[in-house]
Amino acid sequence: MRIDRITASVIRYPLPRPLRPSWAPGREFGSTTCTLLEVTTDDGVVGYGAAPDTGQIGLATISDMVAPYALGKDPFQVEEISPILRNAARDGSYPWGFETALWDIIGKAAGMPAYRLWGAHKRRIRAYASLAELTSVEEQVERLSALKALGFTAAKLRLRRPSIREDIAFVEGVRSAVGDSMELMVDANQAHVMPSPGPHNFWRFEDALAVARAMQDLGVVWLEEPLHRYDYGGLARLCDAVDIPIAGGELNLGLHEYKLLIDRGCYDIIQADCAFSEGVFQLRKVAALAELAYKRFIPHTWSNGVGLAANLQLAAATPNCDWFEFPIDPPAWTPAARDFMLDRPFEVDADGYIAVGDAPGMGMEFDREAVAPYVVATWDSREAAS
């Protein structure tokens, strides 16, 4: 079997309402953008992958840095192709969706979902609703009650208000309204912010420590990204100083950064993402390092439906993964908008668990017709060669 054709398409899909995520202060998103990858073999097997919102950079990464060296290769030779992606990641942007497409092909050829080929651990995982926007307590409580009605038993709230005093008062308000009826995580998103108007200020160690102590008292499940991504010393100090688990690592890059984070004790929970961090099978090596260090590996999943599907396969084959991030924050970020490229959106069941699909490959059915109206640019290796 050989890789015969690669296409990459930038897709811009309008959101039902503008999204104002905490990680892009002052910016409003009217649409969600991704680069969808379609890899076809000479046997006619098609694998799908996706890169996050990087527009033309994502397209050029595939056309100029991945396709010239991956075309003609056996798609089963994932370890042979991985260095091509790593090299592309240095000069380009997030090529990891290509490995997702390879495993989609391998699973389809084998007639099995990838997680079962990797050694399955579970068929369903407890999901937490991962919210995006900074709201008032009243608005948050309303959103949580709607999520509870959908089956969710846990939710991750955002912290990034002008002061930590306001962030702590917000979580206190939410906790006193919902009591023990929902588990709460919090994400401070202090590792970086997306390109946005700002403000671009970050917490100091003393801020992170004060918030961690307050969250611990409020029975919060974990505190995520309380310090800058590369503040290895501060993160390790914080983990040592508090009992509440510290989570992070969603946008660290490559296996060696994760080894360093684990070796230095920067996080209790490692949150790599196969759309942003490394290829989906390569991240199994990070999950294994975490397992050996008695740490949890719970992937970050905030990109799009294909990224969520691939991270779900990874999570289902990972013994030290006990939660699954489910990005949802209606009315702007709905499962239908997140998963518009799939035949149906992922949902949670009445107990708040997400089931791992039995469909071969990445456990998803891709809907080309649904995507077609939203394609803004395409690169096709076959057209480029003619």
Contact residues: Mg ion, CB under 5 A: 187, 224
Beta strands 324-327 and 223-224 are: unpaired
Beta strands 296-297 and 124-130 are: unpaired
Buried b (16+ CB within 10 A) or exposed e, 122-141: beebbbbbbbbebbebeebe
Q: How far is the CB of 81 from Mg ion (least distance, A)?
A: 29
Rounded Cα distance between 31 and 13, Å, is 5
Q: Are 379 and 68 in contact (CB under 8 A)?
A: no
Q: How far is the CB of 158 from Mg ion (least distance, A)?
A: 9
Question: Among residues 53 and 187, whose Cβ is nearest to Mg ion?
Answer: 187
Tokens of 48: 């799908």
Select the residue whose beta carbon is closest to Mg ion and give its number: 187
Question: Among residues 41 and 190, whose Cβ is nearest to Mg ion?
Answer: 190
Question: Among residues 111 and 195, whose Cβ is nearest to Mg ion?
Answer: 195
Give DSSP secondary structure letters for 13-35: EEEEEEE-BTTSTT--EEEEEEE
In 249-323, DSSP assigns E strands to 269-270, 296-297
Q: How far is the CB of 188 from Mg ion (least distance, A)?
A: 9
Q: What angle (nearest 5°) sits at the alpha carbon of residue 367, between those of residues 361 and 370?
A: 160
Q: How far is the CB of 377 from Mg ion (least distance, A)?
A: 29
Beta strands 3-19 and 269-270 are: unpaired
Cis peptide before 199, with omega less than 30 degrees from 0? yes
Q: Are 214 and 168 in contact (CB under 8 A)?
A: yes
Q: How far is the CB of 159 from Mg ion (least distance, A)?
A: 11
Q: How far is the CB of 51 from Mg ion (least distance, A)?
A: 18
Q: How far is the CB of 1 from Mg ion (least distance, A)?
A: 37
DSSP for residue 374: G
Question: Among residues 52 and 107, whose Cβ is nearest to Mg ion?
Answer: 52
Question: Among residues 23 and 353, whose Cβ is nearest to Mg ion?
Answer: 23
Question: Among residues 103 and 128, whose Cβ is nearest to Mg ion?
Answer: 128
Question: Among residues 84 and 186, whose Cβ is nearest to Mg ion?
Answer: 186
